[in-house]
Amino acid sequence: MKVFEEVLPIEFHAKSIGDTKRRIEQINLDSRKIKTGDVFVAIKGFATDGHGFIERAINRGAACVVLETLPDDKQLSSWEKKGVTIVQVNNSRESLAVMATRFYDHPSHQLKLIGITGTNGKTTTATMLYDLYQKLGYKVGLISTIENKIHNEVVSASLTTPDAISLTKLLANMVEANCDVVFMEVSSHAIHQKRLHGQKFSGGIFTNISRDHLDYHNSFKEYIDVKKEFFDLLDNDAFALVNVDDRHGDYMVQNTKATAYKYSLRTLVDYKTKVLANNLEGLHLNINGSEVYAMFTGLFNAYNVTAAYATADILGVQKAELLQALSAVKPAEGRFDIIRGEKKSLYAIVDYAHTPDALKNILTSVRSLMSVGRLITVVGCGGNRDKGKRPLMAAIAAQLSESVIFTSDNPRDEDPMQILLEMEAGVISEDEDKVVIIENRKQAIKIAVQLASEKDVIVVAGKGHEKYQEIKGKKIPFDDKLILKALLL
């Protein structure tokens, strides 16, 4: 148990009513999970407003309520009579993050927490670093889109970056498990929503930035600036590693107090990589004069391997150990995930690419590795998300492939066919003959395999590691990789 005032110090209180020195059991932002003695934090969300659930939380036994907007005098008087402590704050999200870090005794101060942000490459880089450090003999934590790991224990993941309470509790469990270092994907949503407030990062990595999440952010500039905020928050004892082949790399570290390091495939900077070989079996790289073979494919993965190498080097790993371990690291599930056909002599690739830039990267990479054969792409766009990228992704797929199938991809609350028609509108007239629309995703993958001949490559993009289709509020089991394996192996 903790004292409320120690968890949320007085300086965060705009106004307080009741006993702020009382002991509390837990902190929660979900009224359904409140138990006697807990603190309920009312968050103004995008779909619902937690202030509307305060009464329910109090009826379930909440001892304290943290809110931004006070109710009318009659309601407030009712809560006071029930002995509830009411604290008004300027920002509930920030206060929640502060409370979480204090309640769990600042776990991020007790290990090395490294954050990876950017549009593409976060999962691959974070997972690569986790696997690398496991092979080096460290106890490691991973917080990613695919899964969270506490050393060898897998913990399910539903968000790229968890809410402030879940995140801090997860870090506390990692401290308890004696983890030395934690690699964590950092989303723009988490930065903007103050979920990281109060966490101490030992380092930050910027992979790249391109159009994404414009259903949430007001503009691309806002999206860029939110990413930059993460580096602005780093302390002077941290490091900031940025990809300067992306023109926004230098901007990310413009105001950071951290020690800045740069990596590139084009320019002589702190970590310069030359690609010696690139094929479907992997990469042969020269990083700062040292050669390494990596089980990753494509130029975009050359950047991810370089980021992982640079991070380990900055953190003090010996070069010989680093190179040996890095060559043994395998790709993350659903990220350029290759299936070698047995029934047909061809390759199929499952990838999470769900932005125009990511799709262009993977298709360009595959195209560069093909001396013969056709590129067949299966791709869709998610519902209730940025509609502007639909025609862009469609145009890229049609331009870079010999044959394209537009299909359903997590339509959510939208009509799948309407999404596909919005995609089709982006295809130029010269490419129209390449395109087929098949709404049923399983059927679309099956047709792609039927169309493919020896030496062709099939790319199924958009869902990657996901094991479901999200339709009308339900998650229906669906796995691109399993379907391809059944058809090809």
- Residue 104: pLDDT band by 50, 70, 90 thresholds? very high
| Mean pLDDT of all residues in 337-343 | 91
Category of 289 on φ-ψ map: left (φ > 0), alpha (ψ -120 to 50) or beta: left
Give per-residue pLDDT as tens, 280-320.
Answer: 889 999 999 999 999 999 899 999 999 999 999 999 999 99
Residues 205, 424: Cα–Cα separation, whole Å:
36
The label of the residue with tokens 């950047």 reads 303
Closest CA to 204 of 164, 159, 237: 237
88 in Cβ contact with 70 (< 8 Å): yes
Residues 195, 163: Cα–Cα separation, whole Å:
6
| Mean pLDDT of all residues in 88-96 | 95
| Mean pLDDT of all residues in 78-96 | 95
Element (H, E) at 378: strand 375-379
Task: Please give the pLDDT value at position 45.
Answer: 82
Give per-residue pLDDT as tens, 199-244.
Answer: 999 999 999 988 554 455 457 788 888 899 999 999 999 999 999 9
- Residue 98: pLDDT band by 50, 70, 90 thresholds? very high
Element (H, E) at 32: none
- Residue 188: pLDDT band by 50, 70, 90 thresholds? confident
The percent of residues in the chain predicted with pLDDT above 90, rounded, is: 83
The secondary structure of 82-134 as a DSSP string is: TT-EEEE-S-HHHHHHHHHHHHTT-GGGGSEEEEEESSSSHHHHHHHHHHHHH
Name which of 116-130, 146-160, 226-240 the model is least confident about.
Answer: 146-160
Category of 381 on φ-ψ map: left (φ > 0), alpha (ψ -120 to 50) or beta: beta
345 in Cβ contact with 458 (< 8 Å): no
Beta bridge partners of 87: 16, 66
Task: Please give the pLDDT value at position 371.
Answer: 86
- Residue 159: pLDDT band by 50, 70, 90 thresholds? low
Task: Please give the pLDDT value at position 147.
Answer: 85
Task: Please give the pLDDT value at position 218.
Answer: 58
Closest CA to 32 of 13, 60, 63, 73: 60
195 in Cβ contact with 93 (< 8 Å): yes
Given a cut of 90, is residue 157 above it in pLDDT?
no
The label of the residue with tokens 């990789």 reads 481
- Residue 375: pLDDT band by 50, 70, 90 thresholds? very high
Task: Please give the pLDDT value at position 217.
Answer: 46
Given a cut of 60, is residue 110 above it in pLDDT?
yes
Q: In whole numbers, what is the pLDDT of the chain averaged over residues?
A: 93
Helices assigned H by DSSP within 136-268: 164-176, 188-192, 220-232, 249-252
Given a cut of 70, is residue 160 above it in pLDDT?
no
- Residue 259: pLDDT band by 50, 70, 90 thresholds? very high
Task: Report the interhelical angle of 480-488 vs 441-451 (nearest 10°).
Answer: 40
Phi–psi pair at 130, nearest 5 degrees? -60, -50
Straight-line distance from the first to the last Cα atom of the chain, in angstroms, rounded to the nearest whole number: 55
Beta bridge partners of 436: 405
Please count the other Cβ atoms lying within 10 Å of the Cβ belonging to residue 298.
Answer: 24
Q: Could you give all domains of the chain from N- to C-terminal order, each with its CATH number?
A: 2-101 (3.40.1390.10), 106-326 (3.40.1190.10), 337-488 (3.90.190.20)
Residues 402, 65: Cα–Cα separation, whole Å:
59
| Mean pLDDT of all residues in 171-193 | 94
Beta bridge partners of 406: 379, 437
| Mean pLDDT of all residues in 315-326 | 97
Residues 176, 111: Cα–Cα separation, whole Å:
11
Give per-residue pLDDT as tens, 421-433.
Answer: 999 999 999 999 9
Residues 444, 440: Cα–Cα separation, whole Å:
6
The percent of residues in the chain predicted with pLDDT above 70, rounded, is: 97
| Mean pLDDT of all residues in 269-275 | 98
Q: How far is CA 483 from the centre of its chain?
A: 25
